[in-house]
Amino acid sequence: MKFSPAKLVLPLFSALALAFLLIPIVYTFIFSFNDSVKSNIVWVGFTLDNWTNVCEAQGVCEAFGTSIVVGIAATVIATVLGTLLAIALARYRFRGRSAISLMLFLPMATPEVVLGAGLAAQFLSASVPKGFGTIIIAHALFCLSFVVVTVKARVSSLDPALEEAGRDLYGSPIQVFLRVTLPLLLPGIMAAALLSFALSFDDFIITRFNNGPVETFPVYVFTAAARGLPAEANVIASAVFIFALVLVIVGQTSSAARRRRLAKLA
């Protein structure tokens, strides 16, 4: 292949685009080490204090804990309900199937403001006090559709012959489900659960309408942003970032290794 400068345009453009995506992340990470007193705007000097005493800033750790609890609860609800829906939609033909698909698509096409305001209006008219419960209900709602989409893709790529084999070996329907279907679906379900947790953890707009006095991490950031964000918020965000990145890298290397193993077998 001949070298031509035109061939460099695309890699160069892509490198710039990726750099653009990473700028705020690098900024947030650097400023997590800033020796700031109150607001973390101007660079003062390098310190590790923010990392070693994260919980010193008022409310940061509580908000972080709240987000974790809400995320886990919402993920469990959305993953269980969504997996059942996905299996039904991918495996069974019944009347009203397309209406149900539409109803699952709609929450994804609805702007978050509308979902949040709708739920809040509902809780208001039913006089339900806002708090932990209402946040979890709201988060599980918007995670549900994403779980269905993710798990459904996995169910549709499943070979029905494997379940038939289970039935031929006199497995009861429950045994076949627990020992054949579920293990095969597990990677899809795990992916859906991780996606749910990530969506819940980062949600602000819907939470804002339904949180009442409870503060999740994004709500904390929003309230603090008006009066100056402490560097400890950057520490938490950076730590979560590193954790998620490690998780993705481990997942990708292990699935690449599995693919290599399978390729060797074939």
Partner 1 sequence: MAFAAFGSSAAPVEQAPRRRSGIALILLAPGLAYLALFFLTPLISLVITSVQAPVEFGDVGQFQNAFKIENYFAVVQDYWPQFLRSFGYALIATFFALIISYPLAYFIGVTARPWPLTQAILLTLVIAPFFISFLLRTFAWKQLMAEDTPLVQGLKALSILGPDANLVGTPFAVIFGLTYNFIPFMTLPIYVTLERLDTRYLEAGNDLYASPLSTFLRVTLPLSLPGIVSGTLLTFIPAAGDYINASSSFLGSASTSMIGNVIEANFIDLLDYPVAAALSVLLMGIILLIVGLYVRRVGTEDLL
Residues 36-95 that bind partner 1 (CB under 8 A): 41, 77, 80-82, 84-85, 87-88, 90-95
Question: Do 216 and 135 meet the contact criterion of CB atoms below 8 Å apart?
Answer: yes
Among residues 74, 188, 215, 232, the one that binds partner 1 under rule CB under 8 A: 188
The C-alpha atoms of residue 49 and residue 53 are separated, in whole angstroms, by 6
175 binds partner 1 (CB under 8 A): no
**Least separation in angstroms between CB 169 and partner 1:** 19
Q: Contacts with partner 1: how many residues (CB under 8 A)?
A: 96
Stretch that binds partner 1, among 44-52, 53-61, 178-186, 205-213 (CB under 8 A): 205-213
Complete DSSP assignment for 14-76: HHHHHHHHHHHHHHHHHGGGB--SS---S---B-SHHHHTGGGSTTHHHHHHHHHHHHHHHHH
Alpha-carbon distances, residue 37 vs 27, 30, 120, 228 (angstroms):
18, 16, 37, 10
226 binds partner 1 (CB under 8 A): yes
**Least separation in angstroms between CB 240 and partner 1:** 7
231 binds partner 1 (CB under 8 A): no
250 binds partner 1 (CB under 8 A): no
109 binds partner 1 (CB under 8 A): yes
